[in-house]
Structure 1
Amino acid sequence: MTTVPPAGANLAGQILALGEDLHRLRGQLADLSGIGEQVTALVDDVTVLQEQVQHLLDAAGDKPVRVWDWSAMNKEQAAAAWHILIDWVRDILAGTYGLVGHVGGRQRKIPPCWYRHPEVVVELSWLCQEWHRLYRSAKGTPAGAGEWHDRWLPSLVNRLLSESTVAACAKEDSHVEPRPTTSIDDNSALVAVIEADMAARPAAPVPGA
């Protein structure tokens, strides 16, 4: 029997090693044309190796989708992301599902001012990316699409209309500008707390001491 490379081995190395095993086993198979049991065992080995090679090749092309990080995008990246997101909201969320706007469609809908609310943009971004992964790539499955409709879509809509800054817009049927927020209530108090915390901590050990 052939030796299967460890799971943590380098992908290219695994494919190369399995390819070499296939070549060796095919040579042995040709030399053993008259030996029944050994030929059968080698045929099984070849089949398993072929499946492993195909699995590794598939994995090599299965690159993970990078989640949009709006805070780290340059102008070109942001322009591309906005284009994808806006088209998706217009064509899919609004056009197909009737989930955006003040008129028509479903009873509970995301207000059309969604793009003015940064946290709503972030939330819709991952939903948009997951939709594209399911419907615009070979990675989608019917079960995945079912989960998108049954879990992700209604969960996100409910959260936006109950907990985000766009919830007020939905109630007023017009845009309500989000109030600016601060992450720290009192900078002087923050400095005092940090200084007290640092003073109570032991000093770092001196290297080589």
Structure 2
Amino acid sequence: MSDAPDDATVSDSLDPDLDDMDEGYDDPLIAEPPHPINWNLLNADDAEVEWLELNRWVDWLRHTYGLPATVIPPAWYRHPELLWELSALHLHWLCAYDPEQNGSAPLGWHRDFADARMRLREWVATCGTKLDHDRPTRQTVWPGEEPADPIEDVPIIDRDAEFVEFVMADVAARREAEEAFYNNLDLDAGEVS
């Protein structure tokens, strides 16, 4: 599924060549069947690869279809509702354009893409992210819950650098959680013996 080499890093993959979207998909060492991504369960290494692949594809998508920031804003990666929608759309695209797929599959993807664009517009309007600034998606506080922190807009200065920083923080947090998990397993195993 990924056309990035196994040793790709965040900084190596920021400037995608939009003409090479299919490069590597035929390589039997790189290609793998498309599969749904559960972002909640990815380990650090897989998350880095998936972030880079999705970012590259989203960049290709917005350029190919001339999508405005009201459909795909620069800080889409900071909003889970946009992440999940775009990730699902990417998977659908991979499946629709798979060489083994039925010839009408791309038409189905375009039909579903029209629906997805409407949902993306709704998500973008709800979360309030814009072309030049971003803010966390507002959360409705239910009775009995702690009041939400105030939400402030943050300017988007260098989108690519901010994406790299975000991914590096996500990967580091996942790696830390993995280490804590395995350290607890080691402690538990020590208590058993």
State TM-score, norm by structure 2: 0.50
Supply the distance in 1 between the matched residues of 2:91 and 2:39 (Cα, whole angstroms). 13
Residue 66 of structure 1 aligns with which residue? 35
Q: Which has the higher contact order (CA 8 A, sep 6+)?
A: 2
The partner residue of 1:154 within 92, 106, 114 is 114
CA RMSD of aligned residues (A): 2.8
Greater Rg over alpha carbons, structure: 1
Supply the distance in 1 between the matched residues of 2:126 and 2:51 (Cα, whole angstroms). 19
* Residue deviations 1:30-54 (CA, integer Å, cap 9, x gap): xxxxxxxxxxxxxxxxxxxxxxxxx
Structure 2 residue 88 is the aligned partner of structure 1 residue 129:
no
| Residue 169 of structure 1, CA deviation | 2.6
* Conserved? CA contact 2:95–2:101, under 8 Å: yes
* Conserved? CA contact 2:34–2:94, under 8 Å: no
> 1:133-148 alignment to 2 at 5 Å?
133-135=95-97, 137-148=98-109
Structure 2 residue 186 is the aligned partner of structure 1 residue 186:
no
Runs of 4+ in 1 over 6 A off after TM superposition: none
Q: Determine what percentage of the aligned residue pairs are the same residue.
A: 31
Gaps of 5+ in 2: 1-31, 146-193
* Conserved? CA contact 1:115–1:121, under 8 Å: yes
Supply the distance in 2 between the matched residues of 1:67 and 1:97 (Cα, whole angstroms). 23
**Structure (1 or 2) with the greater helix fraction:** 1
Q: What is the identity, as a one-letter code, of the residue corresponding to 2:144?
A: D
* Residue deviations 1:117-140 (CA, integer Å, cap 9, x gap): 0111011001101111222x3233
Supply the distance in 1 between the matched residues of 2:108 and 2:56 (Cα, whole angstroms). 23
| Residue 65 of structure 1, CA deviation | 4.2
Gaps of 5+ in 1: 1-62, 102-107, 188-209
Q: How many residues end up aligned between the 2 structures?
A: 114
Instruction: Mark the CA change 1:129 to 1:100 in structure 2 (over 3 Å): closer, same or farther.
Output: farther
